[in-house]
């Protein structure tokens, strides 16, 4: 069997940590009950596991357990937050503010609401991907009901100033939602200190299972109203019906618990790997860093490369490294990344980009191999292009 390529696409998804799998296993076969069943031990076991997981997740983000709504992932959480607020507050206003570099799971629900009569303002970003707070402040109107700004960008890793954004929103009486799918367990998140009213989370970006996520919904100061988007059995206090997937919920909490406990040491290790890789590319020339190196995730490096064809570059690397040119959720699109074009990259540079997502199991030796291979491939393509 041939050797598999080195995996550097952790923003798309991550392998499950063995410790997470071990925590989940009993709830597939032994304690397999429905957590909504309260008449026998099988249901009690599942209910206790869900309760324990909910408490762990809430504690890590400084929320209360009742403020955690389990979903199928961050995409559903984003839809529930944006559409749920729009439906609950449309009598107070129909203006929503978001950012041009958001994930499609935010941009597309906003675009859908625009077809229903809502007005959406898409804020630009600066050349390093950061939002200008004065621009945000100027965009808020009397009829603004929601501001949605992601914590960490899924392509360029840029960390937006959540606390400052939250303060602005609360001063103006506007709800603040943040898609924190890429940020959770990588940077400290405190929904109280950051004035976050709704926050979307997922497990599969942090070495947990796919198919499980959560939405934090503030219960006081202010109490956020939310219109359910899935009706049925009334689970999650009617905010999201459907039988709770106990193994996934247990795995989510375990993944988050591990990520939180190892955050400081792992963040420092990943930063060293990122610096190692960037220093190799820097010496090559004609390489453009996308985003703000200092204010971005330590496991993200996104670059645009002069003088190469993007598709040829990925083809030349695929046997050695698993890497992407942008969002995995838009991987089938041939259009240049909307994030990179928002930074001011032209179409050619935007398409000749690489997004490296460094992970828990990567080593300095792997990074050296990837760097050498990528540089050799770039030189070869540049020479072929004359």
**Within the chain, which residues score under 50 in pLDDT?**
1, 330-331
Whether 386 is in a domain gets the answer no
> What pLDDT score was predicted for residue 57?
98
CATH of the domain at 114: 3.40.640.10
Q: Is 110 tagged catalytic?
A: no
Same-domain pairing of 113 and 131? yes
Same-domain pairing of 176 and 290? no
Whether 1 is in a domain gets the answer no
Cα gap 56→214, rounded to integer Å? 13
> What pLDDT score was predicted for residue 325?
85
Looking at the DSSP bridge assignments, the partners of residue 95 are 119, 144
Same-domain pairing of 211 and 306? no
Same-domain pairing of 133 and 76? yes
Cα gap 177→149, rounded to integer Å? 7
Asked if 207 and 258 touch (Cβ cutoff 8 Å), the reply is: yes
Give the tens place of pLDDT for each residue, 39-78: 999 999 999 999 999 999 999 999 999 999 999 999 999 9
Q: Which of 116, 163, 329, 376 is catalytic?
A: 329
Q: Which domain holds residue 304?
A: 6-15+262-381
Same-domain pairing of 303 and 165? no
Cα gap 229→87, rounded to integer Å? 10
Cα gap 72→77, rounded to integer Å? 8
* Domain limit, last residue, from 261, 279, 311: 261
Give the tens place of pLDDT for each residue, 75-98: 999 999 999 999 999 999 999 999
pTM, entire model: 0.96
* Domain limit, last residue, from 261, 283, 318: 261
Asked if 178 and 146 touch (Cβ cutoff 8 Å), the reply is: no
Same-domain pairing of 159 and 44? yes
Cα gap 119→156, rounded to integer Å? 27
* Domain limit, last residue, from 241, 261, 281: 261
CATH of the domain at 341: 3.90.1150.10
Written in H, E and C, the secondary structure of 7-38 is ECECCCCCCCCHHHHHHHCHHHHCCCCCCCCC
| Domains: count for the chain | 2
Handedness of CA 310, 311, 315, 320 (dihedral sign): positive
Same-domain pairing of 274 and 339? yes
> What pLDDT score was predicted for residue 1?
42
Same-domain pairing of 247 and 288? no
Same-domain pairing of 144 and 246? yes
Same-domain pairing of 182 and 287? no
Same-domain pairing of 351 and 222? no
Same-domain pairing of 109 and 90? yes
């Amino acid at each position: 069997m041939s050797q598999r390529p080195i995996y550097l696409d952790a923003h798309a998804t991550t392998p499950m940590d063995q410790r997470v799998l071990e925590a989940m296993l009993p709830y597939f076969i032994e304690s397999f009950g429905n957590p909504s069943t309260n008449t026998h031990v099988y249901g009690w076991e599942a209910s206790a596991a869900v309760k324990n997981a909910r408490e762990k997740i809430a504690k890590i983000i400084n929320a209360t357990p009742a403020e955690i709504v389990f979903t199928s992932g961050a995409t559903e959480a984003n839809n529930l937050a944006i559409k749920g607020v729009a439906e609950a507050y449309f009598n107070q206003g129909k203006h929503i503010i978001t950012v041009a570099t958001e994930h499609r799971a935010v941009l597309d629900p906003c675009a859908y609401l625009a077809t229903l009569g809502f007005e959406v303002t898409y804020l630009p970003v600066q050349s390093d991907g950061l939002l200008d707070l004065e621009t945000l402040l100027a965009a808020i109107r009397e009829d603004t009901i929601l501001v949605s700004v992601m914590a960490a960008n899924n392509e360029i890793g840029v960390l937006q100033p959540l606390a400052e954004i939250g303060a602005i929103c609360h001063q103006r009486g506007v709800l603040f939602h943040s898609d924190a799918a890429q940020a959770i367990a990588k940077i400290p998140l405190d929904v109280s200190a950051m004035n976050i009213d709704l926050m979307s989370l997922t497990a599969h970006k942090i070495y947990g299972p796919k198919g499980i996520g959560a939405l934090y919904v503030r219960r006081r100061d202010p109490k956020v109203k939310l219109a359910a988007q899935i009706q049925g059995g009334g689970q999650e206090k009617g905010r999201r019906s459907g039988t709770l997937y106990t193994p996934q919920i247990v795995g989510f909490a375990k993944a988050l618990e591990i990520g939180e406990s190892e955050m400081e040491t792992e963040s420092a290790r990943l930063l060293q790997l990122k610096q190692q890789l960037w220093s190799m590319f820097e010496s090559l020339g004609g390489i453009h860093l996308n985003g703000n190196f200092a204010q971005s995730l330590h496991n993200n490096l996104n670059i645009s490369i002069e003088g190469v064809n993007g598709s040829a570059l990925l083809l030349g690397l695929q046997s050695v490294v698993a890497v992407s040119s942008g969002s995995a959720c838009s991987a089938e699109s041939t259009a240049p990344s909307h994030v990179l074009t928002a930074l001011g990259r032209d179409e050619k540079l935007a398409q000749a980009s690489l997004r490296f997502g460094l992970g828990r199991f990567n080593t300095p030796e792997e990074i050296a191999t990837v760097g050498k291979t990528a540089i050799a491939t770039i030189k070869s393509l540049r020479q072929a292009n004359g």
